[in-house]
């Protein structure tokens, strides 16, 4: 038994050591430094946006102990992610886990100074969140988020990064963003410096569909347009008050969250088929998605 426990303990320590080769210390605020994750070998670093509290004099300390000044490539308060760049080569990018399941053992790992870790399990794996926060997915755990852990990795038992931890995303829970939520944001930050999120210019509310249409579409509810901005993308495409939106692209619209999810990163400027009900008939129109203005 003793040998088995020691082997188990050594394997966990090896997982933390593996993750530690791909995390950095970030000094970008006036109190405890935070953590970042190496995204690319040529110096791209992803971290939590809320820990980057200045635009200049951002110092990143690499695993080898060298310190470099970083510049901001882009930031997205909606997902609490920022992409930094340091002039360094041959860094060790993090190995990412594609997914985790409820009950998986995980570690929160940080490098506010030396590598630190805390242990827990995955409590919940959630889907898209829309509102003040714009998350494609999230992971809730019971790991202890020690000071300086934000921006650092949630690590699985193999030393792979399951997500990016952020103390700003959950009031009373530890929350991390998985690769499926991080990658589209990082891609947008590299290309535009910010995340372009879609905008139709409509106010909607869920309504129950008539039985015949519900059976035809295989969905029970849609989104009634209760207001449309006169110069918004939807109105320009011909959407009118009283129309009931039932699909956008290949996504069925049964509640408001579905519409917000369909207008995520990557759809701005694209022409998308909108399926709606007008006068008891199902119609299709093309809508060119606009970009939501940041406020």
- 80 counts as catalytic: yes
DSSP secondary structure letter of residue 238: T
Of the residues 27, 49, 76, 80, only one is catalytic, namely 80
183's enclosing H/E stretch is helix 179-192
Question: Is 192 part of the annotated catalytic residue set?
Answer: no
State how far the Cα of 178 lies from the Cα of 181, in Å rounded to an integer: 5
* Contact by Cβ (8 Å): 272, 251: no
Which residue among the candidates 27, 49, 79, 150 is catalytic per the annotation?
Answer: 150
154 close to 164: Cβ distance less than 8 angstroms: yes
Rounded to whole angstroms, the Cα distance separating 82 from 44 reads 10
Active site residue 150: yes
96 Cβ partners below 8 Å, 6+ apart? 160, 161, 162, 179
Active-site hit among 22, 27, 49, 50:
50
Take residue 270 and report the two structure tokens written for it.
């694209």
Alpha-carbon span 268 to 273, nearest angstrom: 14
Burial class (CB in 10 A: 0-12, 13-18, 19+), 233: buried
Whether the CB-CB separation of 111 and 23 falls below 8 Å is answered with yes
Q: Which residues are catalytic?
A: 50, 80, 150
């Amino acid at each position: 038994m003793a040998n088995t426990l020691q082997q188990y303990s050594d394997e966990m320590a090896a997982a933390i050591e593996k993750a530690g080769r791909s995390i950095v210390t970030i000094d970008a605020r006036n109190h405890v430094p935070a953590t970042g994750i190496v995204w690319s070998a040529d110096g791209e670093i992803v971290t939590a946006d809320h820990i980057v509290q200045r635009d200049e004099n951002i110092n990143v300390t690499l695993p080898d102990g060298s310190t470099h000044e970083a510049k901001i490539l882009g930031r997205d308060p909606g997902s609490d992610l920022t992409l930094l760049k340091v002039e360094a080569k041959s860094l060790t990018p993090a190995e990412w886990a594609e997914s985790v399941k409820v009950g998986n053992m995980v570690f929160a790992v940080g490098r506010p100074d030396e590598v630190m870790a805390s242990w827990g399990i995955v409590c919940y794996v959630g889907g898209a969140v829309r509102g003040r926060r714009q998350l494609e997915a999230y992971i809730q755990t019971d790991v202890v988020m020690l000071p300086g852990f934000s921006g650092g990795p949630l690590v699985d038992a193999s030393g792979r990064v399951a997500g990016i931890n952020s103390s700003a995303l959950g009031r009373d829970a530890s929350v991390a963003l998985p690769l499926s939520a991080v990658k589209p944001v990082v891609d947008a930050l590299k290309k535009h410096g910010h995340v372009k999120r879609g905008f139709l210019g409509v106010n909607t509310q869920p309504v129950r569909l008539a039985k015949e249409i519900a059976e035809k579409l295989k969905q029970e509810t849609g989104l009634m347009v209760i207001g449309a901005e006169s110069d918004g993308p939807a109105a320009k495409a011909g959407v009118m008050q009283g129309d009931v939106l039932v699909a956008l692209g290949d996504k069925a619209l049964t509640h408001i969250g579905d519409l917000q999810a369909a207008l995520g990163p990557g759809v701005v400027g694209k022409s998308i088929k909108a399926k709606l009900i007008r006068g008891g008939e199902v119609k299709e129109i093309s809508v060119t998605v606009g970009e939501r203005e940041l406020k």
